[in-house]
Amino acid sequence: MTIIGFIRHGETAWNKEGRVQGSSNIPLNEEGIKSAIKLADRLADEQWDLMFTSPMNRAKHTAELIASRMPGMTVEEDERVRERSSGRIEGTTEQERVQKWGARWRELDMQFESADRVIARGLNFVEEQTRIHQDKRILVVSHGSFIKQIIAVLLEDEQYAVTIENTSLTVIEVENKTCTLLNCTAHLAGGTNGD
């Protein structure tokens, strides 16, 4: 059975400020680096076979920090697991969006990448990896919106469409459509079990 562990990247300055990042290439902040190292320490004792990452700096740096604690682990970039493009709202806070476009800004065409397109590329990635790497344990370092959308589709259940925290781990048994760990940040509290 193929198992995929989805990891959201560490915190960035824009996360802290409530700014939409989308495809903007924002680096990890100091807290993001510390949290990624805590997750790396947690995963160091687990058996994972492969690691993929979004090419965005915040995800790639998180993946590199994790891989540094796993002897022999390499990190492969894959465009299909990048964050959804947020179009015209990238770099803005909710308050700035309301000031610029009004309280009903969500009804305007903000040139977002469509959810269908994000899901299509995410499913393409999962199906390919499941076919090529049967019975392997695969880590995927990605982004909150991407992970939220893809796990709800993989599990065929909208109850899994939860807010995904920075450096959280979500583990899916792909063929069984089973979630064994959802949005777990136990490593931030010093523990290693589910939260």
- The Cβ of residue 64 has, within 10 Å, a number of other Cβ atoms equal to 16
Question: Has 9 been annotated as catalytic?
Answer: yes
Q: How is residue 21 written in tokens? A: 């990042």
Selecting among 11, 83, 90, 143, the annotated active-site residue is: 83
- Straight-line distance from the first to the last Cα atom of the chain, in angstroms, rounded to the nearest whole number: 24
Rounded CA-CA distance 96/102 in Å is 9
Going by C-alpha positions, the residue among 152, 187, 158, 189 that lies closest to residue 172 is: 152
Q: Distance (Å, rounded) from C-alpha 99 to C-alpha 96?
A: 5
Name the active-site residue from 9, 61, 143, 187.
Answer: 9
83 is catalytic: yes
Query: Catalytic residues, which ones?
Result: 9, 83
